Structure 1
Amino acid sequence: MTPGSNEPKSRYLQYLEVVTGSLEEKRRYRQYKARIKRLPENYRTAVEALERYLMHFGPADGAGAMSMYEDLADLFEQSAADGTPIRDIFGEDPVEFVEAFMANYPVGQYRARERNRFTSAIERAAGEDTGRQDRTV
């Protein structure tokens, strides 16, 4: 089966993905890690620190996270090619940078989902029907 084909997955691949997770997401992650490994040391150190932060506070799902990591690799590859200093990328407050960066990837963020779920539950408890889509509590 070739990537992007419309062929149905074999039962073995379906079972394997149930156990291990999406094989496509794993391939994308390995490609991302290879890209980061090729960066100059100071850029690689910065990306690895940012990645650790994102692992705790970033999108929780595979697709949302991988899009973010691929964009992160693009940013740092281009910055390294241009010779942009690390501090110029992050600014004076690295947390402010990463929070603004993550705000571009709201899908999959467990915190955003939980905020919406919490708000919806309180609105329902208060007898307010706002027509929100999130009805899972």
Structure 2
Amino acid sequence: MATGSNEPKSRYLQYLEIATGSLEEKKRYRQYKARIKQLPENYRIAVEALERYLMHFGPADGAGAMAMYEDLADLFEQSAADATPIRDLFGDDPIEFVETFMANYPLGQYRARERNRFTSAIARAAGDTPPQGRTE
């Protein structure tokens, strides 16, 4: 069922990915989770808490999210290898850490579109811009 990187996907795999999402992204996510599982307990607890936060408030989706999670795994693997204390990694304000971390990744398409739509609507309501026809 798997295809080589140069082979086109079968029609079945194309339909399956439409229904379930990218199989490659699912594979990357499973690899990420396996990496996290190998961390020492205190690092694993911290990264899982950070992951939960990112699932709710993170800026990315799809491939963008996977790049973010893979970078997160790299950061925590390196921190564990260097025996960097958790508090040194996060600092005194974990929210500031995660907000700074998230700022390095693009917004997911849906969230970016909704943020722009919201900002535009408020600007129109405040009289900052002339009313325009609906573009989305």
Relative to the length of structure 2, the TM-score reads: 0.85
Residue 85 of structure 1: how far off its partner (Å): 0.2
Question: For residues 95-123 of structure 1, what are the alpha-carbon distances to aligned partners after superposition, in whole Å with 9 as ceiling and x for unaligned?
Answer: 11001100111231754442222233455
* Residue-by-residue CA offset, 1:27-77 (whole Å, 9 max, x unaligned): 000000000000000000000000010010013521111000000000000
Distance 1:105 1:113 in 2: 16
Check conservation: 2:60, 2:105, Cα contact below 8 A: no
Alignment partner, residue 58 of structure 1: 58
5+ residue gaps, structure 1:
130-134
Q: Secondary structure at the match of 2:70?
A: helix
Structure 2 distance, partners of 1:14, 1:97, is 39
Alignment of structure 1 residues 28-43 onto 2, 5 Å: 28-43=28-43
Corresponding residue of 1:127: 130
What's the Cα RMSD here?
A: 2.0
State the TM-score, normalizing by the size of structure 1. 0.84
Mapped pair 1:8 → 2:15: no
Matched residue, 1:85: 85
Number of paired residues?
A: 129
Higher relative contact order (CA 8 A, sep 6+): 2
Off by >3 Å, runs of 4+ in structure 1: 109-113, 120-125
* Aligned position for 1:21: 21
Residue segments in structure 2 that go unaligned for 5+ positions in a row: none
Partner Cα separation in structure 2 for residue 67 and residue 14 of structure 1:
23
